[in-house]
Structure 1
Amino acid sequence: MRATFHLKTLTVAVAALSVASVASAAGLDRSGQDITAFLQDGTYAETVYTYIDADVSGKDSSGNKIDDIAESYDFFRYGVKADINDTFSIGILYDEPFGAAANYSGNNNFVDQNPLSPRNGEGTNVEVRTESITGILGAKLGENKNLQVYGGPVAQRVKADVKLRGEAYSVANGYTLNVNADQDYGWLAGVSYSKPEIALKAALTYRSEIEHTANSAELYPFVDSLPIPGLSANRSGDIEITTPESVNFDFQTGINPTTLATAKVRWVPWSDFAITPGLYNGFSQVLATLPQGTGIPPEGLDLVSYDKDQWQVELGLAKRLTPALAVSGNIGWDSGAGDPVTSLGPIEGYYSAGLGAKYNITENWAVSAGGKYLWFGDAEGQIPSKTVVSDFEDNDGFALGVKLSYQAKQNFN
């Protein structure tokens, strides 16, 4: 007799996988831009908290020790979804998709060691934060409503602060960039397919790039040491930052009436991404014409850029132990965005292993918790001129998450 894989019970298991299931290391990727809250059945709402702590340490090109530069960070994700009728669904999602948090300290080439400098003792620092709100409208198609198309607008806010300090950055020692918060808009579109009798769900989601034009302020102390017409050490003006497009594939299927297999695949073209401040780029174009500018292209330098695209894969299993309790496990791989890579984030992807559990408090309310261990890939850190200035090996980290969720069936008969 053929087994029926009831979604109501199997969802207890699969939901445990979505807590702390993404903790990306490539480029500026953070949340993984998960939309699975919208793909849940009936009325659904979730609040997810994720905490990530990494140990990223190494040596500079002089052999000096670089203590852990990765600042711990946390973020929230929210999702609400409801069916208008048996055809149309709406949802609103909030997440923090991209970001960076790194801080150098100690006695190394990324800390200003000049006792005559007003920045003496200051270390290289970067902080990037983004927030996104996504509205989604979905329409189920076909006689059995197995196929769904969905899409909607995305509002995104971005801000950034970067400080380059120490002799590793040569003449750029002391450079500072402040990017004020800017909000702009993009879109999302996707298609999903479900087959409830075997608990199968598959979804392919595309998110557009979002072009930001933000107010920024730059300080480049070395500029004033050269009499260059049209350039001064201070500049205020607009900067264009385009956050990348992405493609997510989410899949699950029942193996038996109490067990699910899941897979996630994500692609982000970080090789197309760059942060190019006007003063920093303009001065590098001048340097390209001087003997000390050997290797700098005529078009100047980006402050941050990446050489390769990111691929991320995660595979998992979830098992319902009792009607109220389920456990899960997953393994993952992230390709990173190249090596050597920017000294502001010297990691070449990771391997990961995670565990999670979900407990149904009531028929509608549940709490989930999960953790993941990350083995980071070794990487060489480079400055924008592509000069390798550091080496990072044998680093790791962990991610912890907790989720509170509500789900209720809607009946339109």
Structure 2
Amino acid sequence: MGANFNLKTLTVAIAALSVASVASAAGLDRSGQDITAFLQDGVYAEAVYTYLDADVSGYDKSTPEPKVIGDIAESYDFFRYGVKADINDTFSVGVLYDEPFGAAADYSGKNDFISHEPNPSFGGFIQPNGESTNVEVRTENITGILGAKLGENKNFQVYAGPVAQRVQADVKLRGKAYGQADGYTTHISAAQDYGWLAGVAYSKPEIALQAAITYRSEIDHTLPISETFPALALKQMNTTRVGEIEITTPESVNFDFQTGINPTMLATAKVRWVPWSDFAIVPPLYNQASNLSLVSYDKDQWLVELGLAKRLTPALAVTGTVGWDSGAGNPVTSLGPIEGYYSAGLGAKYNLTENWAVSAGGKYLWFGDAEGQIPNKKVVSNFEDNDGFALGVKLSYQAKQNFN
């Protein structure tokens, strides 16, 4: 007869790893779009805060001597919330909030990404002195999920639901690295559009086994945009435009797996795929002037993370993870010059009461070396030997429901 690990003895370890499992580096990926809150038993709620600080520095391609580019990665934080409840022993409902995609970069110092003087490439048009290249992108998701458990022992669950998403962005291109695009500025105002998710899960509680695969659809956005392109004045063209931009945030597939190894230890695995090669930001005025997209990627993202969770006492569990993110190609946009990462993380979960628990975790990231390119594919910078760290804390509540 096979070992019975008894799910109750492992409860303190389950989900402890999700705090440290944050901060993807490929494309604009951030939260990893975790849905494991919905897969918990009974009534479950969580609030998660994540902080990430990275050091991304390098050199421009100035001649005869490259100039230093200081740390361009701005620290950022984001939140994730989730609540889930069983309607009966078959149906469950849940609502999740996260901030799935984003970017935060700001150049400084004296290099080819700062406007210091007239740019001779377009007749000495004077840019505001000292302005820097920077970008900020933020998104918000609210997901509703309805699940149904199937089979004689309710081992299978299918789930689906709508997704509401808001996107906004600001980009400034400054410095001679961008040629005639030096001085370009765009503001994309926040607006909301809709997509969906669907998935299937399998569980075997007696060995704490749980596996789930989740698909999230693309979401097509039509967003208000305002642009300024100073160099167009030399071509006697309008230098500003207010209109709309079409942006499609990417689809994704997440696979989440866990199983008990013995009565006090769990093994976990996460795999995520995002086709960033299909994604592009194409502002109308910028595209008219250059026939190029402002941001695009060459490759799709793969993320793999493996972990162990060990229950040390009835109330305390510790966790460890190792991970790999493929990045989205190299060379890559100068607005986010990282080619994936390797990671190692540690975390802990402590049950404050029978229902309430607090978790905390951290992850160290070794970023892949990358060459930064402008939209015409010209390589204008080089970034090497960079790293970062992510910290997270989670408060969770869980209670059993009895429908007998």
Query: What interval of TM-score do these two structures reach, taking the shorter chain for normalisation?
Result: over 0.9
Q: How far 1:197 moved relative to its partner? A: 1.1
Q: Provide structure 1 residue ranges, at least 5 long, that are not aligned to the other structure.
A: 285-299
Q: Quote the residue 2:140 is aligned against.
A: 131
Residues 295 and 375 of structure 2 are in contact (CA less than 8 Å); yes or no, is this contact kept in structure 1? yes
**By how many angstroms is 1:11 displaced?**
2.8
Q: Indicate the residue corresponding to 2:122 in structure 1.
A: none
CA contact (8 A) 2:22 2:50 kept: no
1:259–1:320 CA contact under 8 A, matched in 2: yes
Question: How far does the alpha carbon of each residue in 1:134-188 deviate from its partner, in whole angstroms, 9 at most, with x for none?
Answer: 0000000000000000000000000000000000000000000100001000000
- Residue of structure 2 in register with 1:4 after alignment: 4
Match of 1:331 in 2: 322
Alpha-carbon distance between aligned partners in 1 of 2:22 and 2:47, rounded to the nearest angstrom: 15
> What code does the residue aligned with 1:25 have?
A
> For residue 147 of structure 1, what is the aligned residue in structure 2?
156
> 2:287 corresponds to which residue?
281
Counting only pairs closer than 5 Å after superposition, residues 211-360 of structure 1 correspond to structure 2 as 211-227=220-236, 231-284=237-290, 300-360=291-351
Deviations 1:14-63 (A, max 9, x none): 32101031210000000000000000000000000000000000000011
Distance (whole Å) between structure 2 residues aligned to residue 136 and residue 343 of structure 1: 37
Which secondary structure state, in structure 1, belongs to the residue aligned with residue 314 of structure 2?
Answer: coil
Structure-2 residue corresponding to 1:92? 95
User: Could you tell me the percent identity over the aligned residues?
Assistant: 80
Runs (4+) of structure 1 exceeding 4 A deviation are none
Give the 3-state SS of the residue equivalent to 1:344 in structure 2: coil
Maintained 8 Å contact 1:15/1:368: no
> Is the partner of 1:34 in helix, strand or coil?
coil
For residue 2 of structure 1, report the CA deviation from its aligned partner: 4.4
C-alpha deviation, 1:106, in angstroms: 0.5
Matched residue, 1:24:
24
Q: Does 1:404 align with 2:391?
A: no
Q: Deviations over 1:271-313 (max 9, x none)?
A: 00000000100111xxxxxxxxxxxxxxx20000000000000
Which residues in structure 2 correspond to 1:38-117 (within 5 Å)?
A: 38-62=38-62, 63-114=66-117, 117=126
Measure, in 1, the Cα distance between the counterparts of 2:134 and 2:377: 19
Match of 2:194, SS state, is strand
Partner SS for 2:11: helix
8 Å CA contact 2:78, 2:99 repeated in 1: yes
Asked whether the 8 Å contact 1:48–1:404 carries over to 2, the reply is yes
How many angstroms does 1:118 deviate by?
Answer: 4.5
> Are 1:128 and 1:161, in contact at CA under 8 Å, matched by a contact in 2?
yes
Aligned residue among 368, 372, 379 for 1:381? 372
Q: Is the 8 A contact 1:214 1:238 kept in 2?
A: yes
Q: 2:50, 2:9 → 1: CA distance?
A: 25
CA contact (8 A) 1:14 1:328 kept: no
Residue 364 in structure 1 maps to residue 370 in structure 2: no
**Per-residue CA distance 1:191-245 (angstroms, 9 max, x = gap):** 0000111110000000000000001000000001013xxx410011000111000
Residues 159 and 182 of structure 1 are in contact (CA less than 8 Å); yes or no, is this contact kept in structure 2?
A: yes
TM-score (norm 1): 0.95
- Asked whether the 8 Å contact 1:188–1:208 carries over to 2, the reply is yes
Partner in structure 1 of residue 183 of structure 2: 174
Q: Partner letter of residue 90 of structure 2?
A: T
Cα shift readout 1:102-124 (whole Å, capped 9, x = no counterpart): 00010000000116834210100
Aligned partner of residue 281 in structure 1, secondary structure: helix
Q: Distance in 1 between matches of 2:2 and 2:297?
A: 50
- Structure 1 Cα separation of the partners of residues 106 and 141 of structure 2: 25
Question: How does the TM-score come out when normalised to structure 2?
Answer: 0.97
Supply the distance in 2 between the matched residues of 1:276 and 1:58 (Cα, whole angstroms). Answer: 27
CA distance in 2, matches of 1:182, 1:378: 35
1:193 to 173, 196, 202: 202
**Structure 2 unaligned regions, length at least 5:** 119-124
AA at the equivalent of 1:257: P
CA distances 1:54-73 after superposition (whole Å, capped 9, x unpaired): 00000000110000000000
- Matches of 2:30 and 2:71 in 1, distance apart? 19
1:101 shift after superposition: 0.2
**Cα distance in 2, alignment partners of residues 272 and 138 from structure 1:** 30
For 2:202 and 2:14, how far apart are their aligned partners in 1?
A: 17
3-state SS of the aligned residue for 2:37? coil
Q: Name the counterpart of 2:192.
A: 183
**CA-atom RMSD, angstroms?**
0.9
SS at match of 1:13: coil
- Establish whether residue 14 from structure 1 lines up as the match of residue 14 from structure 2: yes
What SS does structure 1 have at the residue aligned with 2:28? coil
Q: Give the counterpart letter for 1:109 in structure 2.
A: D
- Superposed CA deviations along residues 250-281 of structure 1, whole A, max 9, x for unmatched, are 00000000000000000000000000000100
Distance in 2 of aligned mates of 1:337 and 1:170: 25
The CA distance in 2 between the partners of 1:75 and 1:200, in whole Å, is: 30
What is the count of residue pairs matched by the alignment? 395
**1:8 positional shift:** 2.4
Q: CA deviation at 1:3?
A: 3.1
